[in-house]
Structure 1
Amino acid sequence: MPSSPVPVSLSSRAATAAGFGAIGLWGLLALFTAASGTVPPFQLTAMTFAIGGAIGLAVVAFRPGGIALLAQPPKVWLHGVTGLFGYHALYFTALRFAPAAEANLLNYLWPLLIVVFSALLPGHRLQRHHVIGALLGLAGTVLLIAGRGGLGGSVSGTAAIGYAAALGCAVTWAAYSVTARLLPDVPTEAVAGFCLATAVLALGCHLAVETTVWPSSAGEWLAILALGLGPVGAAFYLWDRGMKRGDIQVLGAASYAAPVISTLALVAFGHAAASLSLGLAVALIVVGSVVAAKEMLRR
């Protein structure tokens, strides 16, 4: 028998709204990254996660329980750090070895996998409209990437490594997101610790394989600060709340809005051009999200 209808509660609606907030912030990731200059990927990860973790730590210090909230069992730290650092390490590997468009498409299987994996959770059941909504979102993402010049060419040996890493991205983030539901007693404040650990690991990778390049202007520093406060900061705290207490299947399907928001933001600020494929992709993803959220909207 399914558990009590948690998604109907006001707290669950607020948590789902928090998840939507995370998706919106991730939609700004590409814009801020483009404005951050030529800082190497792992260095950028270390800098932005350090900002996001430090801000979270400052907030934690004023919460009941304080820094003690970070004292979590090893399995919790393994879950959090594997999700945050593991995903980003695989993503950068994918972009290094495979064409960006195709790698991005495989990476964006994670919303669909969240919808599918959620059916394995206690008290959850995968319904037809969830699958249809997620597939519409996937179709929109394929159209979006294809319209930007991706999807084509042969697969070389090194590209295969990149594709495997991109698929690993999707599986890692979907698994991290869905299994957060199994850790309901772990406070969201603990994410601050996961961010700081990710910053340290990214710094190690940077020192091992990259040459340090510092931002060359105030605008680039502001873009990095914005990344740390939003897409690589607040978004992870909001997502944690959404995954633990919100409607996972709705959030999974709605996550396909992130690449659309990203592209629209790039168009708005002159980093990309508007196109018919973009408009069709937006329509598919919006329809898919509405279909997946049918029950929630009815309530």
Structure 2
Amino acid sequence: MTRRRATLIGGIAILLWSSLALFSVGAAPVPPFQLNALCFAVGAGVGLGWMWAGGRRVRLPRLAPRVWALGVVGLFGYHALYFTALRNAPPAAAGLIAYLWPLLIVIFSGFLPGERLRWPHLAGATVSLIGVAVLLGGGDTLGAGNALGYAAAFACALFWSGYSVLSRRVGDVPTDCVMLFCAATALLSVPFHLAFEETAWPVGAAGWLSVLALGLGPVGLAFYVWDVGVKRGDIQLLGVLSYAAPLLSTLLLILTGVAAAEESLALAALLVVCGAALAAWGSARR
């Protein structure tokens, strides 16, 4: 598989993650950890389809403890911290801090063997980050009373960027093994749900379809294609292109009537596109 093709496959995850907010709204009032358990169970099933589509039998290798730790901490840890951040800080500000992970991917990837961090990558990531700030700012200000939420959001960015970059270090582990990480995340979410939440099921067919869509897409197939992208593709370009996820997510919410259009959207779109183009130019110079 060529580097360019792997990058394109990884980019599918960004498109799928743009629907995360929309389907999460549709899955209300299911609490976070219960939703985690349901969606990642479906995501594990997606792994079976992934192997079947590739003509492979379900025969997964034994994984080293460090690989298990990376996969489970990356998937389960990220979502646990993300939900904690949204509960303990203004959502817009917490979301902005959490979305530092694409910028951190670009920076951390420069330390990988065979990679080189160029100034267009840093400049593009910075411009795109400003675009996300315009999009998610929403007038919220940082406050000391929200310290737990902001700390969780920053840890969330560290977890996912660390997972994405370190996945390159275990590039010999087949993408099929993501199914195991999804299954482990689903199982771990159950005791957390029972300990901290009250059970609530989706409302009607629309609610159940939203849960299914989450498990099939942004909390399912997205992890498999992302694994291909970060292991074999241009991880720096993928990091910058990831800033399109909150932008596309907002556009989807507006088109479906869940959110209202804002004047800052056009400026945010321009900044995100310019940042991605700058990073793409930096990669093309290779």
**TM-score range relative to shorter protein:** over 0.9
Separation in 1 of the partners of 2:285 and 2:262? Answer: 33
Separation in 2 of the partners of 1:273 and 1:58? Answer: 37
Q: CA deviation at 1:155?
A: 2.1
Counterpart contact for 1:81–1:194, Cα < 8 Å: yes
Q: CA deviation at 1:60?
A: 3.3
Counterpart contact for 2:126–2:275, Cα < 8 Å: yes
For 1:214, give the aligned amino acid. Answer: W
Q: Specify the SS of the correspondent of 2:176.
A: helix
Q: How does 1:39-188 map to 2 (within 5 A)?
A: 39-60=30-51, 66-146=57-137, 149-152=138-141, 154-156=143-145, 159-188=146-175
For 2:273, give the aligned amino acid. Answer: V
Percent identity of paired positions between Structure 1 and Structure 2 = 53
Instruction: Show CA shifts across 1:239-270 (max 9, x none).
Output: 00000000011000110000000000000000
Separation in 1 of the partners of 2:157 and 2:48? Answer: 28
Listed as ranges, the gaps of 5+ residues in structure 2 are: none
Counterpart contact for 2:121–2:237, Cα < 8 Å: yes
- For residue 200 of structure 2, the aligned residue among 213, 216, 231 is 213
Instruction: Show CA shifts across 1:66-103 (max 9, x none).
Output: 33325222211111001000111111111121111111
Give the corresponding residue for 1:5. Answer: none
Instruction: Show CA shifts across 1:10-38 (max 9, x none).
Output: 61111100111000100110011111121
Structure 1 segments, 4+ long, off by >6 Å, are none
- For residue 37 of structure 1, the aligned residue among 28, 36, 60 is 28
Counterpart contact for 1:52–1:232, Cα < 8 Å: yes
Counterpart contact for 1:57–1:193, Cα < 8 Å: no
- For residue 15 of structure 1, the aligned residue among 6, 30, 33 is 6
Counterpart contact for 2:74–2:163, Cα < 8 Å: yes
Separation in 1 of the partners of 2:73 and 2:115? Answer: 25
For 1:232, give the aligned amino acid. Answer: V
Separation in 1 of the partners of 2:5 and 2:235? Answer: 13
Counterpart contact for 2:44–2:220, Cα < 8 Å: yes
Q: Specify the SS of the correspondent of 2:181.
A: helix
Q: Specify the SS of the correspondent of 2:211.
A: helix
Q: CA deviation at 1:275?
A: 1.9
Separation in 2 of the partners of 1:284 and 1:80? Answer: 32
For 2:204, give the aligned amino acid. Answer: S
Separation in 2 of the partners of 1:282 and 1:243? Answer: 24
| Cα gap change, 1:250 to 1:62, in 2 (>3 Å) | closer
Q: How does 1:274-293 map to 2 (within 5 A)?
A: 274-293=261-280
Give the corresponding residue for 2:241. Answer: 254
For 1:259, give the aligned amino acid. Answer: P
| Cα gap change, 1:13 to 1:153, in 2 (>3 Å) | closer
Counterpart contact for 1:43–1:202, Cα < 8 Å: yes
Counterpart contact for 1:112–1:135, Cα < 8 Å: yes
Counterpart contact for 1:70–1:189, Cα < 8 Å: no
| Cα gap change, 1:134 to 1:81, in 2 (>3 Å) | same
Counterpart contact for 2:106–2:239, Cα < 8 Å: yes
Separation in 2 of the partners of 1:154 and 1:77? Answer: 37
